[in-house]
Amino acid sequence: MKVIRPWYAAALILALGVLGLASPAAAQLTQAAPPPHAAHPRATPESIAAGKALFEGTCANCHGIDGSGANGPNIRSAAVNLGPEGLYARIRGGAIGSGMPAFTALEDAQVWVIVDYVGSLGHEGAVLATGDAQKGKEIYDANGCAKCHAIAGQGGNLGPELSKIGVLRGTVKLQAILADPGANLPLDTSLQERAAYPAYLVYRVTTKDGKAIEGMRVNEDSFTMQLRDANGRLHSVQKFEVQKIEPLPGKTFMPSYKGKLSDKQIDDLVAYLSGLGGAQ
Amino acid sequence: MRIAKYAVLLLALCCAVPSFAQVPFERLKNSDKEPQNWLTYGGNYGSQRFSGLKEITPKNVASLRVAWAYQLRGGGIMESSPIIVDGILYVTEPPSNVTAIDARTGKPLWHYVPQVPRDFVPVGLFPTNRGVAVLDDKVYLATIDDHLIALDAKSGVVRWNSLIADRMEGYAITQAPLAINGKIVVGVGGGEAGAHGFLSCFDAKDGKLLWKTYTVPLKDSDPGADTWANGSWSNGGGTTWNTGSYDPELNLIYWGTGNPAPDWNGEGRMGDNLFTCSLIALDADTGKMKWYFQFSPHETHDWDSSEPPILFDATVGGKPRKLVALANRNAFYYVLDRATGEFLTGVPFAKQTWAKGLDAKGRPIKEDAAKIEPSVEGTRVYPSLTGAINWTSPCYSPLTGLFYVNAREGYADYIKGEPKMAPGNSVGIVGGGGGGGRMSAGDDTTTNIRALEATTGKLKWEHKMVGDSWTGTLVTAGGLVFSADAAGNFFALNADTGESLWHLLLGSSVRSNPVSYAVDGKQYVVDSAGNTLFVFSLP
């Protein structure tokens, strides 16, 4: 296998950058400001059901019947990431630079019930937290969670940001993650071309001279892989230059807290986390 | 005297320079004789996507570099397969725009934007366009809102504009038309919107409709109506949304048809549902069906049979045969006799769990319904909702005898829903497909370039990739196969062995079919990534 000379690739990337082409797919999405419209009415079980029916006919072909993606991206977190008004604008105005068209023929009320349905995704079977959130925050601080996780701008960057985790994950899921993080990796939907890879999946790469690198996969294509090790260092790997690349399913850099914290402490921690991002 | 001399000189010059895009039928018919051009959507009438150019070879391909790039004027992702005629490249942009470009430098010559209603959102497909057709002095465009438009090849001026179908009935078009002798053949999309599939043929001179052949019955006495229980043909389906092929000697048009409607709930339409999920062969003069072959009778997974049919001639069982091969979305590779429609071979080219195999006539022997039919909770079946292949084109090389296909490995959990068909009113349609599916994603879906022995479907080699690629393949006389992975790595493989020889990351996903052309003897290879058309050549 031969690869393009690095200076040439660099020159191309520079040229594309000047042309505004090299930005990641997600960052290219722009949209026109939506026209004046009625405010978002309160979501009800009826509006969610009506939105589901419209979603299945209008959106499911690209986003999958449950929003988990098909020809288009996974949008199960879209309501959290964009907010109801942002999601309304995305549906009305489309997303320039992607295949998302502007749904101008839908009535205001139809757009809002779709927003309600998308907002309901990922919350099926929600159970209210029973622990003490204040005590949970103390447990979070005492166990060094902030070394890897950020909340409201404060904390580390190795693990996922938790500022909106209460909206993104239900209490049952949070319990499961704390007990066995390796078996509960989130799907990464931030890069369109990665099509929902498990995020934070740990790989071991063995170089031709026998050296092993262990790191979380940040990105991968047919020719290269990008890994971040436990110290946060990025490793850029050309596949033809290494001996072996193997996933280590179940392994994560986050420890299991099962047995380390009592059931009561885990309940408290879950109560704290599930309150983040405006839930409850 | 001097004037006469100049006149003679001028006349000689006019004769020496080929007229701007004068492409009579004879040139299209013999397109293999001018490999510097790419005259039809599929490269030739057999849709082989084989380029006779051989400047770029396994030995020098590592020096390939970007010669020029062209960015879309509007937004969206480019899915167009360009046409190249005598140094002019015609490419389409979403939703239905056309740009003519100087193929040597990348400088646009004209840009045409049709009036597409702003409030039109097609059901079940991206509002995009995959290319134009050329014939004589015109360029032919089918628009997302169902118009067939003839443009002057020199200026982009509209020569005529005919309506193919009514968008309010669910029809939408993304395909390149097919130009044959004095005629323009074009199909329709809209299988999730209750559109009734048909193929139509227009007079290339004035846009007058010459014939229109429906793929699904319109009344109980129509052929195939007895294969739809209780008149369920009325829901439509069998759309003709991808460009077909043509055999000038047999004067037959070959076109794939899409799913029956509703897609995932077949309870209300028991029977084989003819002529959906089939390859149909129509007489080019009359539109009369000569034969059909149904790949997936009573289909319930949205596995359209719209994939490009590739025509080639080979010896099978000691006899020279005229063949048509199709890598189907249902994961089987089929070879038929294209004069008669006789089934010759059918083998899986990607993982499938829905059929035990094919019988002697090529009809699938399905697994038990409980294992494969969509259900309320979801039934896991390979291939996935988007199929083992979708609209992207495979290719065939007469030099290697191999069929090269980008094959998808993945599953979906197929869900049955309530069909809520609203034929005739697709705007804001609710649940028209009667279900859907949760697709495998991330590491559970891969696409791989596979080289199959064209007459048998036997795997010769495979190039594994990461992710879900939506790129067709191109094979050249220089001995190379070009395609791209999901991340946007455009690459070249050795056509004989599959060895990876060169790649370049283009920075966005590639959703198109590569093509090749030459100007002044210099070979170019073209593919698009994201909103940009990239053209490569040797230094």
* Residue B20 to residue B296: CA distance in whole angstroms: 45
Q: Which residues of A219-253 are buried (b: 16+ CB within 10 A; e: fewer)?
A: bbbbbbbebbeeeeeeeebeeeebeebeeeeeebb
Distance of CA A70 to the CA centre of its chain: 16
CATH number for the domain that contains residue A232? 2.30.30.100
Asked whether residue A116 falls in the same domain as residue A139, the answer is: no
Three-state DSSP at B37 gives coil
* Residue B409 to residue B348: CA distance in whole angstroms: 11
Q: Which two tokens stand for residue B394?
A: 């495979």
- What is the distance in angstroms between the Cα of B385 and the nearest Cα belonging to chain A? 8
- What is the distance in angstroms between the Cα of A147 and the nearest Cα belonging to chain B? 28
Which of A237, A240, A234, A215 has its CA nearest to residue A225?
A237
CATH number for the domain that contains residue A151? 1.10.760.10
Asked whether residue A44 falls in the same domain as residue A169, the answer is: no
pLDDT < 70 stretches in chain A: 1-35, 70-71, 96-99, 122-126, 189-196, 278-280
- Counting the structural domains of chain A, the total is 3
CA dihedral B151, B157, B162, B163 (to 10 degrees): 100
Any chain A CB within 8 A of the CB of B11? no
Any chain A CB within 8 A of the CB of B464? yes
Q: What type of residue is B91?
A: V
- Asked if residue A1 belongs to a domain, the reply is no
Catalytic residue among B145, B247, B263, B302: B302
Query: Residue A176, class by beta-carbon neighbours within 10 Å (0-12 exposed, 13-18 middle, 19+ buried)?
Result: middle
Residues of B in contact with A102 (CB under 8 A): 118, 121
Contact (CB<8Å) B76/A194: no
Contact (CB<8Å) B76/A98: yes
Q: What is the per-residue DSSP string for A104-139?
A: TTS-HHHHHHHHHHHHHTT-TT-----S-HHHHHHH
The answer to whether B20 and B136 have CB atoms below 8 angstroms apart is no
Asked whether residue A116 falls in the same domain as residue A172, the answer is: no
Three-state DSSP at B421 gives coil
Distance of CA A224 to the CA centre of its chain: 22
ipTM entry: 0.84
For every residue of A169-231, which 3-state class applies, written as one string? CCHHHHHHHHHCHHHHCCEECCCHHHCCEECCCEEEEEECCCCEEEEEEEEECCCEEEEECCC
The answer to whether B404 and B449 have CB atoms below 8 angstroms apart is yes
Q: What is the pLDDT of residue A98?
A: 65
Domain B21-537 belongs to what architecture? 8 Propeller (2.140)
pLDDT in tens, B473-503: 999 999 999 999 999 999 999 999 999 999 9
Asked whether residue A155 falls in the same domain as residue A264, the answer is: yes
Asked whether residue A242 falls in the same domain as residue A162, the answer is: no
For B15, phi then psi, to 5°, come to: -70, -35
pLDDT in tens, B516-536: 999 999 999 999 999 999 999
pLDDT < 70 stretches in chain B: 1-21, 420-432
Q: What is the pLDDT of residue B192?
A: 81
Asked whether residue A82 falls in the same domain as residue A92, the answer is: yes
Q: What is the largest CA-CA distance in chain A?
A: 64
Smallest CA–CA distance from B194 into chain A, residue? A57
Contact (CB<8Å) B429/A62: no
Residues 120-159 of B with CB under 8 A from A: 120-121, 123-128
The answer to whether A146 and A134 have CB atoms below 8 angstroms apart is no
Is residue B302 among the annotated active site residues?
Answer: yes
Ranges assigned E (strand) in B64-143: 65-71, 83-85, 88-93, 97-102, 108-112, 133-135, 138-142
Asked whether residue A138 falls in the same domain as residue A270, the answer is: yes
Residues of A in contact with B467 (CB under 8 A): 193-195, 220-222
Which of B316, B335, B317 has its CA nearest to residue B325?
B335
Asked whether residue A34 falls in the same domain as residue A141, the answer is: no
Strand-by-strand arrangement of the B332-337 sheet: B310-316, B319-327, B332-337, B343-348
Asked whether residue A175 falls in the same domain as residue A191, the answer is: no
- Asked if residue A4 belongs to a domain, the reply is no
Q: Which of B428, B445, B507 sits opposite A195 (nearest CB)?
A: B445
Last residue of a domain, one of A120, A152, A177: A120
* Residue B463 to residue B471: CA distance in whole angstroms: 14
* Residue B307 to residue B292: CA distance in whole angstroms: 15
* Residue A59 to residue A37: CA distance in whole angstroms: 21
The answer to whether B45 and B246 have CB atoms below 8 angstroms apart is yes
For A225, phi then psi, to 5°, come to: -145, 140
* Residue B56 to residue B538: CA distance in whole angstroms: 7
Residues 493-532 of B with CB under 8 A from A: 499-505, 507-509, 530-532
- Asked if residue A7 belongs to a domain, the reply is no
Domain that holds residue A222: 187-247
Q: What is the pLDDT of residue B48?
A: 98
Last residue of a domain, one of A120, A153, A169: A120
Which of A194, A4, A236 has its CA nearest to residue B500?
A4
Q: Which of B127, B438, B500 sits opposite A101 (nearest CB)?
A: B127
